[in-house]
A and B are shown apart, each in its own frame.
Chain A
């Protein structure tokens, strides 16, 4: 089972600042997903990246997949308190018929007003 390393573990910033969180592996990702989880709720899928070098944007969030597909980043521009939450990356494990995911340990983001 591949290990997904996320960094930083904790991030505390002021509203309006920019930030980047990372997800890395020693092995090549088949594809990678980013989820956001708010306290007391289940994670919600933000994006799936598949192709090396791929960049996807979701409003103020920019997701990049490394050229070698061994790393990914999530950049948030002008963070808002509503961005507060746990950001998780996940990789498929096993075939599509099972659809299992392996999750990283997450980055806890706190955006202060």
Chain B
């Protein structure tokens, strides 16, 4: 069966520090992968998606970047965090034509 992992689960970082969040998927190959950000108790905003290794599409201009160095690994990064980068970051993979399966998320607080 397929599983999706994210780490760390929580992160507190100072403004201006770098960021690296990791997402890995097991039990499937060449999945579409997605990074979302969610403000407290609200809807999900798609940040990046990837249809294959090295292929990244950005949905919104921002202080973040994404990379896919391996088939089942998706990384979200920033060189210098802003206060507005705080939020709940979710990784997902595409399981069917439209179905997405989400990871447990990373709670990022920028102070």
The residues of A with any CB-CB pair to B shorter than 8 Å are 6, 31, 33, 40-45, 48, 86, 88, 90, 92, 96-106, 108
Contacts of B34 in A (CB 8 A): 100
* B105 in contact with A41 (CB, 8 Å): yes
Does B74 sit at the interface, judged by CB under 8 A?
Answer: no
> For the complex, would chain B's binding face be called helix, strand, loop or mixed by DSSP majority?
strand
- Measured in the bound complex, the distance between the Cα atoms of B34 and A52 in whole Å is 29
* B32 in contact with A43 (CB, 8 Å): no
Q: Provide a sorted-by-A list of 13 A–B residue pairs whose CB atoms are within 8 angstroms.
A: A40-B104, A40-B107, A42-B92, A43-B44, A43-B102, A45-B101, A86-B41, A99-B32, A99-B49, A99-B94, A100-B59, A101-B98, A104-B43
The residues of B with any CB-CB pair to A shorter than 8 Å are 32, 34, 41-46, 49, 51, 57, 59, 90, 92, 94, 97-105, 107
- Measured in the bound complex, the distance between the Cα atoms of B98 and A6 in whole Å is 20
**Distance to closest chain A CB from B88 (angstroms):** 8
- Measured in the bound complex, the distance between the Cα atoms of B100 and A86 in whole Å is 17
